[in-house]
Structure 1
């Protein structure tokens, strides 16, 4: 019986070691690139070629205009978004309150005379209260993001505005950094160089983040997040 228990304990220890090694291997492996469908580039509809050639220069589905503005205007067209984001915010507040209350009860009389002990009234009372509060708080925040990212037109709205989206990944040593953006652009805001500043992108969603060893080193561990959560009793 004891030999069977010892063998089972050895098998359990071996399984635990395999599980620990698998967990460590999974944690040490490089994270897979997050390919979000919300930021994938949109491709235009493929031209249909029936294969016929009537002996002329013109071919169906293939065209070029000598006087057409090359600014983005159709699904799949490319547009450059220049990131010019800068925000500064500050806030300060100060509060002070005070309250003072006094309540006194006159001396109680009994049979027309005050109740005293050795000449001191014993049934007179008074209550006083004094409350003071002072609070002060300040907050400031500053953010800046510059650069550029080239995206594609994913949809042409009925009013002519262009819905754009795209992402850019940069791999540096053991880490990856990416920029994602999506929003709505007016064709009138697109410059001659087929670029538009980010502050003219409506409903803009801009994300700048990273993955890899450097990003993991700058993030708090799961145990630290537990102690920092609202559920922590400390």
Structure 2
């Protein structure tokens, strides 16, 4: 009796530890884009005065030169216009049938009594199956990012993050990718569909996000359920 009580206590302690482990959840970590980190912008050394009217120095941008982003630290507005849809349908059908009969009338006289027991065998097998799936996603918005690296071919690697605090929850929008400077419009913006290796992440934490998650006990039973 005492042994059964000890086993019951151990089982309850194990379940309690599993529950505590499941409850100790932290805000969701980014899976697509790394968390934002400050960008180091190199400071150009102050050049000595080399002229009374015009002084050539690093960081100089001519008056009539295109003002599009081209250096680390420059900002670009990304217009998020993501829309993806996919549909898949499949079907299959098979059929098979066979018949076989045996007539015993032509056997010797000793087996004439078996003639009346002639038999016929038949079989049929049919199968039909079909399946389909569909998915669609749509995301729209605006986010401003910074140039983190200028590649050797002139393309710009960008990354940015936007945080929205709504009541007792926080929403995070993170974006990164590679932008061709020729794709940047005169309003210093580019659509997300023109960004290579685009990575977009939208997540949040707070009571609203927690309400959308399954409870720890239900997750435990789903994990150990055999079917």
Q: Is the TM-score greater than 0.5?
A: yes
After TM superposition, where is structure 1 displaced by more than 4 Å over at least 4 residues in a row? 30-34, 36-39, 52-62, 108-113, 226-229
Q: How does 1:126-205 map to 2 (within 5 A)?
A: 126-205=120-199
Report the TM-score, using the length of structure 1 for normalisation. 0.72
Secondary structure of the residue aligned to 1:114 is: helix
Aligned-residue RMSD, C-alpha:
3.5
TM-score of the superposition, structure 2-length normalised? 0.74
SS of residue matched to 2:129: strand
Tell me the secondary structure at the aligned position of residue 65 of structure 1.
coil
Pair 110,198 (structure 1): closer, same or farther in 2 beyond 3 Å: same
Q: What's the CA shift string for 1:169-188, capped at 9, x where partnerless?
A: 11111111111111111111
Q: Tell me which moved more, 206-215 or 104-113.
A: 104-113
- 1:214 equivalent in structure 2: 208
Corresponding residue number in structure 2 for 1:120: 116
Quote the residue 1:91 is aligned against: 88
Unaligned runs of 5+ in 2: 1-12
Evaluate the alpha carbon distance shift between residue 86 and residue 48 of structure 1 in structure 2; reply closer, same or farther with a 3 A threshold.
Answer: same
Counterparts in 2 of 1:14-93, with a 5 A limit?
31=27, 37=34, 39-40=36-37, 42-49=39-46, 58=55, 61=58, 63-93=60-90
**Conservation of the 8 A alpha-carbon contact between 1:153 and 1:165:** yes
Q: Which runs of 5+ in 1 are unaligned?
A: 1-15
1 CA distance for matches of 2:72 and 2:153? 15
Match of 1:7 in 2: none
